[in-house]
Structure 1
Amino acid sequence: VSVFLMFLSTFTMFMSGLVANFEYDLKKIVALSTLSQLGVMMFSISLGFYDLAFFHLITHALFKAMLFLCAGVLIHGVGGSQDIRLTGGLIKNFPLVGVCLNLANLSLCGLPFMSGFYSKDLIVETAAQGYWSQLIILVLFVSLGLTVSYSVRFVLLAFVSWNSGLVSLFSCDQDYLMLKPICNLTLFALLSGASLSWLLFPFPTLVFLPTNLKLLPLVIISMSVVISLALSNKGLTVSHGENSLSWFVGSMGFLPFLSGQLLPNK
């Protein structure tokens, strides 16, 4: 067990999930989501569960590839804009792409019987079964809740909200060149979790947890949905003034300034 890697990966999950909840750039949200899932893999490696990390790597690659394709289709469809505050009601113009993207988000959140559920749930329950720091377990569960929060917030702003400043230029649901890989990856996002779990783990893994730890994810997910509703309502108007908290969180606690701008210029 690597304690340093455990702390590093856990707070990487927390930081990336927190920043994604204050981010409006579509590409950055998807990138921060990838960083958060890399933190999940590193957390599994820090506990010595290398096979679970590899399992999550494969399942995550399948639905995240679909998520990137769907995000690219949406950005191209609105003329290159990446600000999700300026989009809205895209489900009307991109019904099939919207359904596929929502399936990818559900898999990312770990909805039961989606591909992400089989790997992420096994990692979290196995970690909660061990005798680790309560702070680590708490931050781990909060990070999972942040994943649900920014996923729901993104769907509400991009697909449900009708306060749109931009109108889609064309319906990409007629672009069969893009629909073919998206639909193929959708099948993998639905079926790969169960299939790979049978191939990689020939014997079923049973994890026994107390009732409070079993119910804790449901409580955190419910709170995350409420938080995402509040954040999506806040993001309906484009504000020219920068809020200090949003600026601090969006810049990852000024990490880019501390890591890059203090270096001497050549």
Structure 2
Amino acid sequence: MSTTPTAALEMIIGLDPLNIRIEAVARAELYRLHCWQQFNSRRELTGHARLWSRMVEENPLWMAPSDCMVPVIFTDHAFRVIFPTRDDWQEGLLIQLGADIVLFTDGSLCNGLAGAGVYSSGLGVELSFCLGRNISVFQAELFAISAAVSHCLEIGVRDRKIVFCVDSQSALLSLRLNKFQSKLVFECFGLLNRLARDNDVMLVWVPGHSDISGNEKVDELARLGSKELGTASADPHWFMMPADEVELVQKYMESSKTKEVDILYAIFKAYPDIQARFPMFAGKEFGHC
């Protein structure tokens, strides 16, 4: 193995070149420090921090507002989150819960356009929001919950048992956490806690596409929003999500690996006997175990 080029082994095994992997980790850490405002990314950067300037020059999205925040521990959940079964719904769950107010929320994504809907027959609410592009379904779901809670706060609902029916398990699970690292989730959590000060608030998972009338209606409202036919547009100051950061780092790694392979191939093609002619250069470029 001592004569096997490292570059060849990496290609065969599918390992990322070490220099590219190290820079990918450094990029992710620099972005985290930028999000947490641990260094001033707008002043003249020196040393390793100069990598940030290169990142922004390659892709300005690194400077987009981020959803990441300094982790916050918050154990005071004034509301409840439950996950009933499909059988529970068929047996009349809402009647059993004895809710005074029931609101259904939903998010939708269609051809790159996101929409959100809020529906309540008891309150006479039918809201459909067009959220624009570059929005994930998860973001749309959280926006819909926040919009429903905000509506209850605006009309001054007090001393009521309020049930929010949501078909996104990921959104509900994120609100049940004690550690928050997402501004969007933490903002929704804060609104729910405010409403729960004067009301009994519960978030309930509802199975999608199960002929539950309220859920079918809100699904229709969300889809209208995703087709730019919503009753209202929204500018919810969207942030770059962790998944977007991972995608940017992944794009860097893929493009860097492609460039490195192209360079090594060009060198080897031009100098097939490079090992014999330039042993030190070949060792540096191709590496050896």
Same fold by TM-score greater than 0.5: no
Query: Where is the helix percentage greater, Structure 1 or Structure 2?
Result: 1
TM-score by length of 1: 0.22
TM-score by length of 2: 0.21
- Answer with 1 or 2: which has the greater Rg: 2
